[in-house]
Amino acid sequence: MYPRTLAVPKFLLPIAGRPFGHHLLARLAEAGYEEVVLCIGHLGDEIRAALGDGAAFGLHVVHADEGETRLGTAGAIRRALPLLGEAFLVTYGDSYLPFDYAAPLADLEAHGEARGTMSVYRNEDRWDDSNCEIAAGRVARYQKRRPGEPRDPALDHIDYGAIALRREVIAALPEGPGDLAPVLSRLAAEGALRALVVTERFYEIGSEAGYRELEALFHARGGARAEDNP
């Protein structure tokens, strides 16, 4: 997203007249969440200053700064572990998901044998490379395609961008940088990752094309919804 993110973090890029993060926090509050831990890095001070403690959204927001070293998703969650409960939702600060954000955590809490619930979408490589094989209500395989690899038809779903995890999954990781993908692959291989199928596509602002798509979505729906505004 350079040069847009040269001075403004993605989380604060304007969408329909408001910072993207405002829309996301409003959706989380709408879903019934009360506490949010934001793992921040690049231009984190700007995010902290813009959002404060989250009271304007009816939330309690805590900022977990990864510091100068980029930790990756798993590493950032591991550092924030003291702030998290026994089960929690992981979502991404550049994804907008038109679904019930409470659903993955509710599904995990209803299935005590599982260690995670991943929201998935039948993507078939339409919006990005698909990376999930689904069977019997579970993610049977989670595998990101390497550059140049042919498409695997069995991988017809994609990680939608909202995953409920049990604390033990992250607590078992060493501190320091780490990617979440190997963690999810292992859970899938162990039969411990449930699949929550979503029927409406995801949106993201990690690319210029994705940013313009989300802007178009909001404008098509008449701009920011009332519940998206603090």
Identify the pLDDT of residue 127: 87
Long-range contacts of 125-130 (CB under 8 A, 24+ apart): 125/151, 126/201, 127/158, 127/201, 127/202, 128/158, 129/158, 130/155, 130/156, 130/157, 130/158
Query: Which residues sit opposite 91 in a β-bridge?
Result: 162
pLDDT for position 226: 35
For residues 162 and 81, what is the distance between their CA atoms, to the nearest angstrom? 17
Let me know: does 161 contact 91? Beta carbons within 8 Å: yes
The count of residues in the chain is 230
Please name which of 7, 180, 31, 224 lies closest in space to residue 92, comparing C-alpha atoms. 180
Distance (Å, whole) CA 9 – CA 4: 8
B/e letters for 99-112, b = 16+ CB within 10 Å, e = fewer, are bbbbbbbebbeeee
pTM of the model: 0.92
What residues of the chain score a pLDDT lower than 70? 1-2, 223-230
Full set of structural domains in the chain with CATH: 4-228 (3.90.550.10)
